[in-house]
Amino acid sequence: MPDRAEVIMMDGERTSDGFERLCRELLSEAYPEMDARWLDEQTASAMAVAADAVAAADLAADRDRREIRTAVKQALDRLRSRGLSPDEPSATIAVEGVEVAVTADASGSRYAITFQVSSQRLPVDELTGLWLTARTTSPHTTLLPVRHLAAFDEQGAASFANVRAGHWSFETLTPTWNDTIGAFPMPAVEKSAVAAATGYYAVAAPNKALFTLDDRSDAEPALEITGTVDGPRLIPIRYLDREGAARRLLVAIAPARTGAARSRTGLPSFAPGTPWEVGDYQEAGVLTAVDAPLVAESLRATDDRATLRAWRALAADARPEIGSAIEALLGES
């Protein structure tokens, strides 16, 4: 009988129909003399007990998740007050039975910063899906303030690479949307940031792409993406506009003749201070005919020749129906 239970649980399949069928079969084999009515009653009772157990487990997991994430946030607040810099490159802070250890190791003129969360009371794997953003304050970052992103893994570890020297501060960042596999939640742009004298706001993603938001005074903000790719790729973007509606765009990026790959897109009605996210590099094959309207909207937002060339290169790798649609749209632009 254990083998049968394992089959039903395989690949996360935990349907109520499968569990109900298993309960009835187990009861029927254990009590072959009982009639169908008794089996129905006992199966219903077992289902109710199981549902209560699942609900209690979900509540406990939600409580654990809230508690450990709150503890980490409080530890980061204390770390901000205490300070972390090349002069004080390590710290260990304990909050409510949760210990957060952070170390910064020099790597040339930059630093690698590692977080490790441990707890005897709470499961650290509840941090999975929670992100950290690192910000450096120093005279060298005034022209282009860059924030770095890192995600906690199931062991409660997160790390940043290639961080400039300076005074470091960290914040937690929770994804806004549920379907965020392969996406990076971006730190909200302070409403004063794009209006500052530099006019720039940049985020370094874990895939080594740099996303720079440029406020062009009276025009819509533009997002420039710099990275390294070995072929034409897509980068999805999602943000909330000034009306609070979710907007989606795609940006094509392709290898440059020299130097890093660069692409640029407008962000119609982008609202600073609201949630936004970017996706990891994707190949042209992910596009289907359903994406044609999104492709058209994305091409209309594109505002430089390098990105248009990237779209043309991507059309050659896309499905025929998408490739021809891209070529037609490029012909209109």
Nearest to 100 by CA among 79, 119, 117: 117
- Which of 72, 118, 116, 120 lies closest to 95 in space, CA to CA? 72
How high is the pLDDT of residue 143?
63
Q: What is the pLDDT of residue 5?
A: 34
What are 108's strand-pairing partners?
none
**Confidence band of 258 (pLDDT split at 50, 70, 90):** confident
Is residue 7 predicted with pLDDT exceeding 60? no
Banded model confidence at residue 13, pLDDT cuts 50, 70, 90: very low
Quote the tokens at residue 153. 């893994």
Task: Please write the tens of the pLDDT for every residue from 204-246.
Answer: 999 999 999 876 444 578 899 999 999 999 999 999 988 999 9
Mean pLDDT over each residue of the chain, to the nearest integer: 85
CA distance 283 to 278: 15
Q: What is the pLDDT of residues 151-203, one digit of tens each?
A: 999 999 999 999 999 999 999 998 888 877 789 999 988 765 444 444 568 89
More confident residue, 57 or 20: 20
Q: Is the pLDDT of residue 26 over 90?
A: no
Element (H, E) at 236: strand 233-240
Give the pLDDT confidence of 125-151 residue by residue, as tens digits: 999 989 999 998 877 666 677 899 999
pLDDT in tens, 41-84: 888 888 877 776 777 666 666 788 899 999 999 999 999 998 89
In this prediction, residues 29-35 reach a mean pLDDT of 86
pLDDT of residue 279: 94
Cα 157 from Cα 101, distance rounded (Å): 10
Residue pair 268/275 in contact by the 8 Å Cβ criterion: no
Q: Cα separation of 84 and 167, whole Å? A: 6
**Whole-number Å distance between alpha carbons of 268 and 32:** 68
- Of 15-24, 25-34, 145-154, the least confident: 15-24
Does the pTM surpass 0.85? The reply is no
Inter-residue contact 285 to 233 (CB < 8 Å): no
pLDDT of residue 313: 94
Give the whole-angstrom CA distance, residue 237 versus residue 203. 14
The answer to whether 292 and 304 are in contact (CB under 8 A) is: no
Task: Using a pLDDT cut of 90, give the percent of the chain over it.
Answer: 55
pLDDT higher than 60, residue 311: yes
pLDDT for residue 8 is more than 50: no
Q: What is the pLDDT of residue 9?
A: 33
Helix (H) or strand (E) holding 112: strand 110-119
Which tokens go with 131? 């992100």
265-301 confidence digits (pLDDT tens): 999 999 888 899 999 999 999 999 999 999 999 999 9
The confidence score (pLDDT) of residue 300 equals: 92
Q: List, edge to edge, every strand of the sheet that includes 98-107.
A: 90-95, 98-107, 110-119, 157-163
How many Cα atoms occupy the beta-carbon half-sphere of 73 within 13 Å? 11
SS3 108: coil
CB 186 within 8 A of CB 276: yes
Contact call for residues 251 and 263 (beta carbons, < 8 A): yes
